[in-house]
Amino acid sequence: MDSAEYERKIAARFASFDQDGNGYIDREDFSGAAKALLAEFGTTARCDKGQALYIGAEAFWQGMAGIADVDGDQRVTREEFVTGAVKRLRDSPQRFAEIARPFLKAAMAVADEDGRGATPKGAERVLKVLGADAETAAAAAAALDTDKDGRISEDEVLTAFAAYFTTPAPDA
């Protein structure tokens, strides 16, 4: 995959971060995602899981802004995302996954309904809340459980997240 092709596919990832679809990524996209996840699983913002999710969402936003908000206006435009983030993502997808770790970990905790870890079904609900269509969410959630133990571990989520940016999927 050449560089232009890679950048074009990374640009497609922009939409998954721009949760409210207003044309730029900002703090509200992350806090909005946290709020929607808590609503989906009937979890309050005040409980430990709810607090961890909001803290993770803020850390994810700060990490994203640190990488991509080149002009420091607290908004990441599509251009900033492509030019500012693309190189960092390509050089170090694991590091990008680290930025996302607290949010992903907290999201999986919210989706964990019996205290034994989130199931693929729970992960599917998370992905749908975050904007994936039903078919994509089901396929991606099933693929997350790489060791097929019926639960989605933190490592499984982080590995998949890094891979999502390292090896962009073909266009639908």
Residues that bind Ca ion (CB under 5 A): 18, 20, 22, 29, 69, 71, 73, 75, 145, 147, 149, 151
Output the smallest distance, CB 117 to Ca ion, in A. Answer: 8
Output the smallest distance, CB 46 to Ca ion, in A. Answer: 25
Output the smallest distance, CB 16 to Ca ion, in A. Answer: 11
User: In this complex, which beta carbon is closest to Ca ion, that of residue 33 or of residue 89?
Assistant: 33
Q: Assign 3-class secondary structure to the chain.
A: CCHHHHHHHHHHHHHHHCCCCCCEECHHHHHHHHHHHHHHCCCCCCCHHHHHHHHHHHHHHHHHHHHHCCCCCCCEEHHHHHHHHHHHHHHCHHHHHHHHHHHHHHHHHHHCCCCCCECHHHHHHHHHHCCCCHHHHHHHHHHHCCCCCCCECHHHHHHHHHHHHHCCCCCC
User: In this complex, which beta carbon is closest to Ca ion, that of residue 72 or of residue 170?
Assistant: 72
User: In this complex, which beta carbon is closest to Ca ion, that of residue 20 or of residue 133?
Assistant: 20
Output the smallest distance, CB 123 to Ca ion, in A. Answer: 10
